[in-house]
Amino acid sequence: MRLVLVGTSHHHAPVELRERVALDGEQAAELARRLGEAVVLSTCNRTELYVAGEDADAAEAHAVAELAALEPDVERALYRLRDQAAVLHLFRVAAGLDSLVPGEGEILGQVRAAHELGTPGYLLDRVFRQALHAGRKVRAQTAIGESPASVSSAAAALAEQVFGSLEGRRILLIGAGKVGEQASRSLRSRGAEIVLAANSRTDRDALEAELARADVVVSSTSSRGLVLDAATVERTRSGRQRLFVDLAVPRDLDPAIHGLDGCYLYDIDDLEAIVSETLAGRRGESARAEAIVAVEAEKFHEWHASLDVVPAIASLRARAEEIREAELRKADGALGRLDDSQRRAVESLTAQIVNKLLHLPTIRMKQAAVSADGVIYAEAVRHLFGLGEDER
Amino acid sequence: MAELLFWPALLLYGEAAVGYFGDARRPGSAGRAATWGVRLGWLVQTALLVLQAVREDGFPWSTWAGSLNLFVWLVVGAYLIWGCRGAYRLLGLAVMPLAAALLVVARAGGGTSAGARAGSPDSTAFLVLHVGLVLAAFAGFTLAAALSALYLWQERRLKRRAATILRRPAPSLATLDRLAARTVAVSLPALTLGIVVGLVRLVARGDRVDALVVATAVTWLVWCAYLGLRLAGWSGRRAAYVALAGFVLVVLVRLALPVSHFT
């Protein structure tokens, strides 16, 4: 059984092309059914078809045809991998090593969902289970996914550096910019609450009243001038710590706010510098993550290779057992004088002889399978012991 | 036997100090090894103290050097309450080098040996109460000062907008501020009680007030001021500076005044 991967990702195709081959869950499940034994992984950064089949060329041609039917231009941006290369690629994807942001955590859930929606047989099922295991292991044993990778999550992480738990903390949101909305969503997901979403029509007194009670102020308006000056912030001081996040360009918040006692102001450049630094940290962890992925891929390779010799081993053991039972039956007359416990001892003895004789050949065949000699060994065993000749 | 226990304890505290330094540069296995160094070192020092208590006739830590040994044990024990958590490893960077250095000073003064008489005519019950309470309070103040120092460091990083701020885990400002205040709130009553016990004995015996008593009283006043100011609304950086001023007095009392208080 061969494994084939055909797909495209942010490394090979621009978003204009990727969006034309992007599939929702239902479409992915339907495509997997058409491909036979297959799993379709479709995210905003990639669309990949994993297909298992005896004829790798046919499986690949089918997968390419399906993607080309969605968008003919995609064919030039496709990568095609087989067997161990495809396995290693999937393991790297699950670990977040092939992501736009190294170590991003969302991909692991997307791989799991694709596996559940697909039509995997024993091979693809095993590949995806082990990929998920590799992804979890990388996250548990490295710091690749620990630091925030976006401006909005960096703002929330900074708030945690100031306040600890954000449960019940009050956010004042000024303006309706997209990044500001993402930042406030990130803060809300950690337990903070928006007490006022202010805009240009909001009463100034109401804004200042909420400013006095707010723990975090997020601003992202399109105003040409300052929305909040240091004097206003000073006037509304309450002795508590306050974090100001200015995501607007030009800036909304007076830089002098940062000089006030207990006030911390971060603008878009500060946050991007933090994100850039954390991404550098993630890249530093990538080498350790790659090593974990390589080990897991090798384990899978050993398991997969052993499949080549499993039928031969099973046949050999069956033949040995058949001979053992036949010889015991032949000796039945002589053994008739034995009582039950003596008979059981003889059966146990013969079984042990068979097991001990076959133990080393079994191990050696499994070892040979990993080094690609498995098929030769399996054929040799079949020939030497006449396995399968009765059926012919 | 005490010698056999002193060296492993010092070695483990030293390993922890170096490990925390390594962890500050690159968080990971060095920090975990340091935490184990603290745990094992503290257990070894506990065994050392037990041996001293068993061997000596009376309270073994009434001398200046002996009390320093007990003080180190209390500081490290208090640190262990939080120190096992990853975010507090930076606190270990402040506490463990100090603990290792003070243990060496205690040994130089003969405070880690066992078998000799303590040399104090005072009753054991009085010494346990007086010395034990004062040292426990000082250990608490030391930890509060370390928390305050960590607060100032973390606040400085936020003010400098350090790009690496999220790569090195540290407790939040609010947590550090709260923990420092709680530690002082627990330690100050212990110091108050320890001083009262000492004063009662002082009056009963008609002894004179020495420099150590005066310095301890000033220390008590500063930490009372700390709590009072916090109740008045002080927090954050200003409170941290007051805590560090209180710690300077603790250092003065513990190190700069090596008088034999009970002879």
pLDDT tens digits, B227-247: 999 998 888 899 999 999 999
Phi-psi region of B95 (alpha: psi -120 to 50; beta: other; left: phi over 0): alpha
**Superfamily the domain A2-141 falls into:** Glutamyl-tRNA reductase, N-terminal domain (3.30.460.30)
Q: Return d(Cα B94, Cα B182) in angstroms, integer.
A: 19
Structure tokens at A214: 């707010």
CB of A143 less than 8 A from some CB of B: yes
Q: Residue B89: exposed, middle, or buried by beta-carbon count in 10 A (0-12, 13-18, 19+)?
A: buried
Cβ pair A91, A296 in contact under 8 A = yes
CB of B29 less than 8 A from some CB of A: no
How many domains is chain B partitioned into structurally?
2
Per-residue pLDDT at A259 exceeds 90 = yes
Do residues B106 and B141 share a domain? no
**Strand partners of residue A219:** A174, A246
Do residues B89 and B55 share a domain? yes
State the average pLDDT over residues A353-363.
Answer: 90
Indicate the pLDDT class of residue A246, thresholds 50, 70 and 90: very high
Do residues B158 and B226 share a domain? yes
The answer to whether the CB atoms of B165 and A276 lie below 8 A apart is no
Closest residue in B to A165 (Cα) is B172
Residue with tokens 């009283």: B217
Indicate the pLDDT class of residue A256, thresholds 50, 70 and 90: very high
B-proximal residues of A, 358-387, CB under 8 Å: none
Cβ pair B14, B38 in contact under 8 A = no
Do residues B74 and B31 share a domain? yes
State the average pLDDT over residues B140-158.
Answer: 93
Domain final position from B78, B103, B119: B119
State the average pLDDT over residues B154-158.
Answer: 93
Q: Return d(Cα A118, Cα A41) in angstroms, integer.
A: 9
Query: pLDDT, tens digit, for every residue of A138-154?
Result: 988 887 877 777 888 88
Do residues B110 and B236 share a domain? no
Q: Mutation target for A interface from B159, B161, B237: give the one with most A CBs within 10 A.
A: B161
State the average pLDDT over residues A98-102.
Answer: 82
Q: Return d(Cα A367, Cα B100) in angstroms, integer.
A: 54
Per-residue pLDDT at A34 exceeds 70 = yes
Can A44 be counted among the known catalytic residues?
yes
Do residues B242 and B192 share a domain? yes
pLDDT (0 to 100) of residue B39: 94
CB of A20 less than 8 A from some CB of B: no
Task: Please report, rounded to a whole number, the percentage of residues in chain A having pLDDT higher than 90.
Answer: 45
Closest residue in A to B169 (Cα) is A161
Identity of the amino acid at A52: A
Q: How would you classify the pairing of strands A242-246 and A263-267?
A: parallel
Domain final position from B96, B119, B142: B119
H helices within A41-105, ranges in order? 56-70, 83-94
Distance of CA A206 to the CA centre of its chain: 46
A-proximal residues of B, 232-251, CB under 8 Å: 233, 235-237
Which CATH number covers residue B40?
Answer: 1.20.120
Which of B185, B191, B160, B157 lies closest to B171 in space, CA to CA? B157
State the average pLDDT over residues B221-230.
Answer: 94
Residue A81 is given by DSSP the state E
**Strand partners of residue B263:** none
Per-residue pLDDT at B182 exceeds 90 = yes
State the average pLDDT over residues A363-383.
Answer: 78
State the average pLDDT over residues A233-258.
Answer: 89
Mean of pLDDT over chain B: 85
Cβ pair B59, B124 in contact under 8 A = yes
Indicate the pLDDT class of residue A41, thresholds 50, 70 and 90: very high
Closest residue in A to B158 (Cα) is A264
CB of B32 less than 8 A from some CB of A: no
pLDDT (0 to 100) of residue A308: 73
Phi-psi region of B115 (alpha: psi -120 to 50; beta: other; left: phi over 0): left
**Superfamily the domain A151-275 falls into:** NAD(P)-binding Rossmann-like Domain (3.40.50.720)
Indicate the pLDDT class of residue A392, thresholds 50, 70 and 90: very low
Do residues B4 and B109 share a domain? yes
Do residues B42 and B162 share a domain? no
Per-residue pLDDT at A230 exceeds 50 = yes
Give the structural domain span for B170. Answer: 120-263
Peptide bond preceding A250 in cis form (omega within 30 of 0):
yes
Query: pLDDT, tens digit, for every residue of A177-222?
Result: 777 888 888 888 889 988 888 877 788 888 888 898 999 999 988 8
Q: Where are the domains of chain A?
A: 2-141, 151-275, 302-385
Query: pLDDT, tens digit, for every residue of A48-83?
Result: 999 999 999 999 999 999 999 999 999 999 999 999
The answer to whether the CB atoms of B167 and A148 lie below 8 A apart is no
CB of A239 less than 8 A from some CB of B: yes
Mean of pLDDT over chain A: 88
Query: pLDDT, tens digit, for every residue of A275-309?
Result: 888 888 787 788 889 999 999 999 898 888 777 78
State the average pLDDT over residues A234-260.
Answer: 89
pLDDT (0 to 100) of residue A205: 85
The answer to whether the CB atoms of A278 and B174 lie below 8 A apart is no
* Top-confidence residue, B116 or A178: A178
Structure tokens at A59: 């499986």
pLDDT (0 to 100) of residue A264: 95
Among A19, A34, A44, A329, the active-site one is A44
CB of B69 less than 8 A from some CB of A: no
